[in-house]
Amino acid sequence: MVRKDSLAQLLDEGRRKIQVTDEELDEAKRRRRLLAASARRAFPGSTTYFNGSVAHGDANTPLTDVDLGVVLSNKDAEPYGPAKKSALPLMEIVRDVIHEDLDTEFPKLTIEVVGRRRAVLVRFGDPVTQGQDDFTADVMTALPHPSGRGLYIPNTKIADQWDRADPITHTQMVLKAITDTKVVFARTVRLLKHWNCTHSKPMCSWNIKALCLGCLDEPMPLINALQIFFTYAADEIDNGPTPDPAHVADPIPLNMTRREVHKRLCTARDYIDLAIEHETAGRPLSAQHALHQVLPELVPDADATQEEAARLASTVRTGGTAATGLGLTVGLVTPTRAWGN
């Protein structure tokens, strides 16, 4: 007998496949704490913050990296900033202290400073997820912004050497969204990050999360969260660049053209709409087939041939044509996935 799962069941099973394990998280957080302690030791009087997927509660497996920053005291930060000194000396200081503190436990540890745009790159030489090559960390050396809103973070690729951003507020916003949606926000982001990575050229993952902040603010089924996201995101990208949710930094880059991103979002939106339409009409296999086009590695494909034949026959019997109403599915029920490649 053919198994017929609801969209809710399919998405719940799919998101569990990519959910990071407790063991991965525990070890990643332990290493992050070690780095934070080193950063504070490097700059007495400083504070540290955590950001990225582990801090935001939306990490997928395999877990390959963590992100954190150290914010200098106002006194120590005074010589640095736009029109002053670059972050390079700070990056070298934190590099040296991390080596002093962690080389014994991690003998293969290496740290990159030269050529790094924003943060010191720590390579542990020891993966957190079994089977992965390594585990890394970005350690950012940041300055308090004179306005009191946000930080100056390094950008070695521009003349000023520093950008304005507010990663601390970003994390607070994400954690609030997770609470407000009763974890639906984090689960949706995990699915969207996986969807994004099925493309040969992914869009900026922070852009996806920022768009989620604009449309997911209450509990709902995951399939509805995906529908709301793709509809909202397609409209927003069509209108222009995604603004910084904290209203501090410049608009968020896409890593590809807006036209390409808009097309990709619209394709996924149409398949999600179709999946919901099929399920509402009592065609679970057709619904699964449509959802598979968006999340091919998480949702198994289903043979919807019999359901589609019955739908077409019913349409003809009621006086319609195969191309009317839900006949749109004829064009969409194909092996072409929502990848936009």
% the chain with pLDDT above 90 = 87
SS3 of the chain? CCCCCCHHHHHHHHHHHHECCHHHHHHHHHHHHHHHHHHHHHCCCCEEEEEHHHHHCCCECCCCEEEEEEECCHHHHCCECCCCECCHHHHHHHHHHHHHHHCCCCCCCEEECCCCCCCEEEECCCCCCCCCCCCEEEEEEEEECCCCCCEEEECCCCCCCEEEECHHHHHHHHHHHHHHCCCHHHHHHHHHHHHHHCCCCCCCHHHHHHHHHCCCCCCCCHHHHHHHHHHHHHHHHHHCCECCCCCCCCCECCCCCHHHHHHHHHHHHHHHHHHHHHHHCCCHHHHHHHHHHHCCCCCCCCCCHHHHHHHHHHHHHCCCCCCCHHHHHHHHCCCCCCCCC
Give the confidence band of 338 by pLDDT, cuts at 50, 70, 90: low
Residue predicted with more confidence, 328 or 195:
195
Domain boundary among 138, 165, 192: 165
The confidence score (pLDDT) of residue 306 equals 80
Same domain flag for 56 and 161: yes
| 137/237 Cα distance (integer angstroms) | 30
Please tell me whether residues 142 and 189 are part of one structural domain: no
Same domain, 68 and 98: yes
Residue 188 in tokens:
């949706």
Length of the chain: 341
| Boundary (domain end) residue, out of 132, 165, 198 | 165
Determine if the pTM surpasses 0.75: yes
pLDDT at 317: 66
> Are residue 87 and residue 119 in the same domain, yes or no?
yes
One domain for residues 150 and 201: no
Q: Does residue 10 lie in a domain region?
A: no
Residue 173 lies in a domain: no
Clarify whether residues 87 and 228 are in a common domain: no
* Number of domains observed in the structure of the chain: 2
200 with 285, same domain: the answer is: yes
Residues 329 and 260 in one domain: yes
Same domain, 208 and 155: no
Domain-located, residue 40: yes
Pair 65, 116 in one domain: yes
In a domain, 7, yes or no: no
The answer to the question of residue 86 being in a domain is yes
Asked, for residue 15, whether it belongs to a domain, the answer is no
Per-residue pLDDT band for 321 (boundaries 50, 70, 90) equals low
Res. 329: pLDDT tops 50: no
pLDDT tens digits for 215-254? Answer: 999 999 999 999 999 999 999 999 999 999 999 999 999 9
- Segment 272-293 shows an average pLDDT of 97
Q: Pick the residue with more confidence: 116 or 321? A: 116
| Domain end call among 97, 131, 165 | 165
Which residue range(s) make up the domain with 201?
A: 182-341
Q: Is residue 5 part of a domain?
A: no
Residue 270 forms part of a structural domain: yes
Domain shared by 130 and 237, yes or no? no
In this structure, what CATH number is given to the domain that contains residue 119?
A: 3.30.460.90
Mean model confidence pLDDT for the chain: 92
Clarify whether residues 216 and 83 are in a common domain.
no
Q: Which of 89-98, 195-204, 324-333 is least confident?
A: 324-333
